[in-house]
Amino acid sequence: MNRAVIVTGASQGLGAAIASNLAVEGAAVCLVARTRKVLSVIEEGILAKGGRAMAIPADVADPEACLQIVEKSLERWGRLDALVNNAGILGPLAYTVDADPWAWLDTLKVNVMGPFHLTRAAMPLLRQCSGRIVNVSSGAAARALAGAGAYCVSKAALNHFTRILAAEEPGITSVAVRPGMVDTPMQTFLRENAPSVMPKDLADYYQKVKKQGGLEPPDVPGKSIAWLALNAPHEWSGRFLDYDDPEIAPPAGESVNGV
């Protein structure tokens, strides 16, 4: 497969799983995250298994860095077929009136403006190949989680940004996806910090899901998102999809075998 994909937030958890599954399918993967040391581990793992990968340490909140990501991808692989906007931060766990406004702004910069900057930089290349954009969203986009306002608002904005792209760019396919509750450092952070900020029933819920084994391993939604980056039908453009949708999970499990 001669296709190239940019995956942000690729140094751990869900992003690493998405990138690894794309590499197994033969795609060349540009791995983007802020920390080179951790990112290099994922790059080396893919290369050791015969895959193609390039680590690009960068902050997606920086528009110039996003331009450089796309330029480096084009220089290395000669093309760009898909963009997976996975990088995201939880933001301040605080009620709105108590929240640090600069921490809120940081969340919006990464979770909303990051996909915006990268999409603008990548669009000329994606137009050439009728490419795909997959925005990794959250169920929080449609829920009001007290104490996690910045995150909820940022993911709701990301979903609508996906719809805007579908309306403005009819030649590409743009989808958002809910990855489910994944066993990642973000969930660990929630379990550790929610009791001091969130309502007790909500904080208890995060503890309960972990104890009962309700968190998905990153590779499960990682397969679905990798499949969407390579195969999402154009008629789905603008939709907010579930990783375990019966139209996605079965073909993803068959075509992407993981590493």
208 lies in a domain?
Answer: no
pLDDT recorded at residue 14: 96
**If you average pLDDT over residues 19-30, what whole number do you get?**
97
Tens of pLDDT, residues 161-218: 999 999 999 999 999 999 999 999 999 999 999 999 999 999 999 999 999 999 999 9
161 lies in a domain?
Answer: yes
What domain count does the chain have? 1
224 lies in a domain?
Answer: yes
36 lies in a domain?
Answer: yes
The whole-chain average pLDDT of the chain stands at 95
Answer yes or no: 151 catalytic. Answer: yes
157 lies in a domain?
Answer: yes
How far apart are the C-alpha atoms of 215 and 180, rounded to whole Å?
A: 8
pTM, two decimals, is 0.95
197 lies in a domain?
Answer: no
Residue 253: pLDDT band with limits 50, 70, 90:
confident
Tens of pLDDT, residues 47-56: 999 999 999 9
Q: What is the CATH number of the domain that holds 137?
A: 3.40.50.720
Tens of pLDDT, residues 101-128: 999 999 999 999 999 999 999 999 999 9
Burial of 35 (0-12, 13-18, 19+ CB in 10 A): exposed
Backbone angles phi, psi at 51, to 5 degrees: -85, 175
Is the pLDDT reported for residue 76 higher than 70? Answer: yes
10 lies in a domain?
Answer: yes
Catalytic site residue from 151, 205, 206, 243: 151
Q: Which domain range does residue 151 map to? A: 4-180+218-255
26 lies in a domain?
Answer: yes
How far apart are the C-alpha atoms of 189 and 40, rounded to whole Å?
A: 24
pLDDT recorded at residue 256: 52
